Structure 1
Amino acid sequence: MSNPYPQQPDGSRGGPPQYQASGDQYGAGQHGAGRPGTAPPEVKRLLTLTLVSAAVYLLNGLVELIGSATVDMTESYREMGLSADQIAVAEQSGGFATVTGIVVLAVALGLYALVYVFLKKGKNWARVLGIVLSVLSIVGTLIGLLGVMAYGGLGIVLLVLGLLLVVVNVLWLVTAFKAPVKHWFAPPRMA
């Protein structure tokens, strides 16, 4: 019986195609993590900025929750020109707003964790998700800064934290779009 895999020109015996165990079903390695060498320093910076952004977001959210629970908003509502009926409705919805704020904070921190874990694993989709979330965070924070002075003295703290969050997210975006980071996370091209 003959060998279905003839001897190769280099003298080795032929055989079925061999795939690397660390790759996917086609033998390709993972993005980033499967590449030889180490990640560029910008990738480590991206991971650090992700953690800093999450910490600032958490701190900002906690101060906002404390502010909404402790600040008497009745006078702020009057200054905005709301009627007594509108003020009553706004004050009744305060408890719902607190619960909603806690849920939003928890979901956002879960998204930060998701992005961080999969950035660390070298997944490009995590970088793209981080870009989308950073843009949304910047826009949302800038819009939210319009009403922070309703919190009185805490408004200044919220203003500083909001501006810090915008700066960190802009730095995150700049780092995510740098050539070494883009190339590290870019999917390998098939030849």
Structure 2
Amino acid sequence: MSNPYPQQPEGARGGPPQYQATGDQYGAGHGGGHPGAEPPEVKRLLTLTLVSAAVYLLNDIVGLIVSTTADTTAMYREMGLSPDQIAAAEQTAGVATVTGIVMLVIALGLYALVYVFLKKGKNWARVLGIVLSILSVVGTLIGLLGAMAYGGLGIVLLILGLLLVVVNVLWLVTAFKAPVKHWFAPRRMA
């Protein structure tokens, strides 16, 4: 008996070749089209995204509390500012608080965007996460310079800031690991 499907060896179950419907209309499946199971590093990246968001939220809440309850007038005097400069700085405090809350909401929205689309296997979400993590590390390190000006709660800000830097560096290391890069890499058409 001859096999009408030459790509199957003799004796194989008859019928046309079977294809897996795991990809989108262009043949790309989950993870940018990377075949196989999701590597454990991708789950770690998702977990680090949530941890980073939580630490960021906590750090910002403490920062808002510190900035609204601190005796800024005395702090500005110690810094050597003139009375006019102190008055101008205190007038902007309310605007700074509102701006801080708006920035917090935007940042949490970006965390959600990155998390949701990382979960869907979108490489652009990994790239966006990389950019945002780098900006977060740089911004947090700059912010740490002024944390001690707030006294006791400044120590809390310092600890949370350092924790945020560590989590984001771990996120970056994980995002650049070979299994993660390959999982999110777009599939090339042959």
TM-score range, shorter chain: 0.7 to 0.9
Offset, 1:28: 1.7
Task: Confirm or deny: 8 A CA contact 2:121 2:184 kept in the other structure.
Answer: yes
| Structure 1: distance between partners of 2:29 and 2:76 | 54
Equivalent AA in structure 2 for residue 153 of structure 1? G
Corresponding residue number in structure 1 for 2:44? 45
Structure 2 residues not aligned, in runs of 5+ = 7-18
Equivalent AA in structure 2 for residue 23 of structure 1? D
Offset, 1:20: 5.0
Corresponding residue number in structure 2 for 1:73? 72
Offset, 1:75: 1.2
Corresponding residue number in structure 2 for 1:10? 5
Equivalent AA in structure 1 for residue 124 of structure 2? W
Task: Confirm or deny: 8 A CA contact 2:34 2:187 kept in the other structure.
Answer: no
Query: Percent of pairs identical after alignment?
Result: 78
Does residue 107 of structure 1 match 2:106?
Answer: yes
Residues matched between the structures, number:
178
Q: Superposition pairs for residues 1-191 of structure 1, below 5 Å?
A: 10=5, 22-24=23-25, 27-32=26-31, 35-191=34-190
Offset, 1:79: 1.5
After superposition, the Cα gap between the structure-2 partners of 1:39 and 1:20, relative to the gap in structure 1 and judged at 3 Å, is: closer
Residue by residue, what CA displacement relative to the aligned partner does 1:85-114 show, whole Å, maximum 9, x if unpaired? 000010111100000000000000000000
Task: Confirm or deny: 8 A CA contact 1:31 1:186 kept in the other structure.
Answer: no
| Structure 2: distance between partners of 1:189 and 1:41 | 23
Q: Secondary structure at the match of 2:81?
A: coil
Corresponding residue number in structure 2 for 1:4? none
Q: TM-score, normalised by structure 2?
A: 0.87
Q: TM-score, normalised by structure 1?
A: 0.86
Task: Confirm or deny: 8 A CA contact 2:22 2:29 kept in the other structure.
Answer: no
Task: Confirm or deny: 8 A CA contact 1:77 1:87 kept in the other structure.
Answer: yes
